[in-house]
């Protein structure tokens, strides 16, 4: 078998002595899952009419149908992309491109969205293309649907709320947001709506975290107009994803070239990666119940262990991931008196990989925008010297990994207690 970089990564995390607890940044590629696909995928261009091309086209459409089935969509509502960031950009910019109403259109996003959404709308606002509102969250990171409802106005064309927050694991009330939008459409004076009653559209980012691993994604229940998925969070590796675009959604291409993927994502598709993505998404559904039971156990073990070592070394800690509203596979903990980056480096030196915040913003020295948004609604203020660590579990995480991680944290706390 041809050995790729992802093959090496997958083998490394499973067989090395290092511990990987950063699955929310990237879920290492599961080579075993795709072994049967290696020789079955045609190498032809699916746009060609020869035998190889027709075979590739059939494989592509089979993958499209499989993805659609997993989220209860129609196959022609699935657009394959290179990943979550591209999918979010196509959704936001494509809707704006298709908008034909007068005036400056209005968009609403939650204050805790992934940078793949936030940076796009911030840029559009800075260029005067849109007006922008941020929906606040409570101290647990849950979007305030009442505030969102009050923000919707006749010129609002787009609302974006993620399904699961990538930093703390909060499950957002997407179905309630959709209900609020439907209520607005039914009750507003349609004469004031600048284009038609399809606006505002709801976009759901289901790829900023590993949402398909934790929750069933049913577009019939969530009612999004657009929804993004990312292969790098479901063990496929980077470079592939999908965008659900509900039939009738006004959207135009932001790229130009061929007419592949309804013209929204021109270029020759990587049929092999797309097939792997479809298989991985189906595997998420098959393994979800079993894996969630494991994550519950790992979470309990980690939280209990961290509380014990913090009490032993008199370290003030706060569990930021509320178990009542968060998925169990993401545990975000703050440690007062310790910088996030310092703890990440210390744990890495002991062979343990974790994150201080979203990997896409990890080079920034600013406090996480997610924690900042939570702090505005919390009864506590975020100390300047707080260190927040995100532990995220996945397919190959074990109880032994958690026990070793807790022990490593204890040694770090002891080291710094002795030096101060």
> CA-CA distance, 108 to 160, in Å (whole number)?
6
Per-residue confidence (pLDDT) for residue 189, from 0 to 100: 56
pLDDT for residue 8 is more than 80: no
Task: Tokens for 7, please give them.
Answer: 């093959």
296 CB-near residues (< 8 Å, 6+ apart): 328
Percent of the chain past pLDDT 70, that is, above it, reads 88
> In this predicted model, what pLDDT tens digit does every residue of 305-323 receive, in sequence order?
999 999 999 999 999 999 9
CATH no. for 5-29+288-419: 3.90.1150.10
Least confident of 25-29, 57-61, 75-79, 190-194: 190-194
Per-residue confidence (pLDDT) for residue 285, from 0 to 100: 94
Residues of the chain with CATH 3.40.640.10: 31-282
Q: Across residues 143-168, what is the average pLDDT?
A: 96
Task: Tokens for 396, please give them.
Answer: 């190959």
Which has more confidence, 193 or 344? 344
**What band does 5 get if pLDDT is binned at 50, 70 and 90?**
very low
Q: Across residues 35-54, what is the average pLDDT?
A: 81
Before 213, cis peptide (omega within 30)?
no
Q: Across residues 158-167, what is the average pLDDT?
A: 96
Task: Tokens for 333, please give them.
Answer: 């903990």
pLDDT for residue 367 is more than 80: no
Which has more confidence, 191 or 95? 95
DSSP 1-62: ----HHHHHHHHHHHSS-EE-BTTT-----HHHHGGGTTTS--S-TT--SHHHHHHHHHHHH
| C-alpha Rg value of the chain to the nearest Å | 22
Task: Tokens for 255, please give them.
Answer: 């790229």
Per-residue confidence (pLDDT) for residue 362, from 0 to 100: 45
Task: Tokens for 92, please give them.
Answer: 């936001």
Percent of the chain past pLDDT 90, that is, above it, reads 72
Residues of the chain with CATH 3.90.1150.10: 5-29+288-419
Determine which helix (DSSP H) or strand (DSSP E) holds 399, and give its type and residue range: helix 399-419
Per-residue confidence (pLDDT) for residue 357, from 0 to 100: 63
Per-residue confidence (pLDDT) for residue 18, from 0 to 100: 96
Fold of 31-282: 3.40.640
pTM strictly above 0.85: yes
pLDDT for residue 1 is more than 50: no
Q: Across residues 269-292, what is the average pLDDT?
A: 94
SS3 155: coil
Summary mean pLDDT of the chain: 88
Per-residue confidence (pLDDT) for residue 417, from 0 to 100: 83
**What band does 192 get if pLDDT is binned at 50, 70 and 90?**
low
DSSP 277-290: HHHHHHHHHHHHHH
Q: Across residues 238-251, what is the average pLDDT?
A: 96
Before 200, cis peptide (omega within 30)?
yes
Determine which helix (DSSP H) or strand (DSSP E) holds 94, and give its type and residue range: helix 84-98
Q: Under a CB-based contact definition with an 8 Å cutoff, are residues 90 and 81 in contact?
A: yes
pLDDT for residue 377 is more than 80: no
Which has more confidence, 356 or 288? 288
Q: Which residues are catalytic?
A: 360
Q: Across residues 75-80, what is the average pLDDT?
A: 97
Per-residue confidence (pLDDT) for residue 4, from 0 to 100: 41
Determine which helix (DSSP H) or strand (DSSP E) holds 413, and give its type and residue range: helix 399-419
Among 372, 387, 390, 281, CA closest to 326: 390
> CA-CA distance, 367 to 384, in Å (whole number)?
9
pLDDT for residue 382 is more than 70: no
**What band does 372 get if pLDDT is binned at 50, 70 and 90?**
confident
Per-residue confidence (pLDDT) for residue 337, from 0 to 100: 86
Q: Across residues 385-406, what is the average pLDDT?
A: 92
Q: Across residues 1-24, what is the average pLDDT?
A: 60
Which has more confidence, 371 or 189? 371
Q: What's the burial of 293, exposed, middle or buried (CB within 10 Å: 0-12/13-18/19+)?
A: exposed
Per-residue confidence (pLDDT) for residue 145, from 0 to 100: 97
Beta strands in 99-220 (DSSP E): 106-110, 131-135, 156-160, 201-205
Q: What is the number of other CB atoms lying within 10 angstroms of the CB of residue 398?
A: 12
Per-residue confidence (pLDDT) for residue 162, from 0 to 100: 97
Which has more confidence, 383 or 119? 119
Q: Across residues 118-129, what is the average pLDDT?
A: 97
Q: Across residues 110-133, what is the average pLDDT?
A: 96
């Amino acid at each position: 078998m041809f050995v790729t970089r992802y093959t090496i990564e997958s083998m490394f995390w499973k067989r090395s002595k290092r511990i990987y607890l950063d699955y929310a940044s990237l879920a290492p590629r599961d080579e075993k899952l795709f072994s049967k696909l290696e020789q079955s995928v045609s190498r032809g261009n699916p746009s060609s009419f020869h035998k190889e091309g027709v075979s590739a086209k059939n494989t592509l459409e089979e993958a499209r149908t499989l993805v659609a089935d997993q989220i209860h969509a129609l196959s022609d509502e699935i657009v394959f992309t290179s990943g979550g960031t591209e999918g979010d950009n196509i959704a936001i910019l494509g809707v704006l491109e298709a908008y034909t109403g007068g005036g400056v259109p209005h968009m609403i996003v939650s204050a805790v969205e992934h940078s793949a959404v936030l940076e796009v709308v911030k840029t559009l606002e800075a260029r005067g293309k849109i007006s922008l509102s941020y929906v606040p969250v409570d101290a647990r990171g849950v979007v305030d649907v009442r505030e969102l409802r009050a923000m919707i106005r006749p010129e609002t064309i787009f609302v974006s709320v993620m399904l699961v927050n990538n930093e703390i694991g909060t499950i957002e009330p997407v179905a309630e947001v959709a209900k609020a939008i439907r209520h607005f459409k039914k009750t507003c004076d349609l004469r004031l709506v600048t284009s038609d009653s399809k606006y505002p559209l709801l976009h759901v980012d289901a790829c900023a975290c590993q949402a398909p691993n934790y929750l069933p994604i049913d577009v019939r229940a969530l009612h999004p107009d657009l929804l993004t998925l990312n292969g790098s969070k479901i063990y496929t590796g980077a470079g592939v994803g999908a965008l659900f675009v509900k039939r009738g959604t006004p959207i135009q291409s932001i790229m130009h070239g061929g007419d592949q993927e309804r013209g929204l994502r021109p270029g020759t598709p990587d049929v092999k990666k797309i097939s792997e993505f479809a298989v991985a998404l189906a595997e998420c559904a098959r393994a979800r119940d079993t894996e969630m039971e494991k994550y519950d156990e790992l979470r309990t073990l980690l939280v209990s262990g961290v509380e014990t070592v913090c009490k032993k070394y008199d370290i003030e800690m706060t569990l930021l991931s509320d178990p009542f509203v968060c998925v169990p596979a993401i545990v975000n903990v703050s440690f007062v008196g310790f910088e996030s980056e310092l703890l990440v480096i210390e744990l890495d030196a002991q062979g343990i990989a974790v994150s201080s915040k979203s990997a896409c913003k990890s080079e920034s020295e600013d406090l996480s925008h997610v924690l900042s948004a939570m702090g505005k609604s919390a009864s506590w203020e975020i100390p300047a010297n707080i260190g927040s660590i995100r532990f995220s579990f996945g397919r190959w995480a074990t109880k032994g990994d958690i026990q070793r991680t807790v022990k490593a944290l204890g040694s770090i706390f002891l080291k710094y207690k002795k030096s101060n």
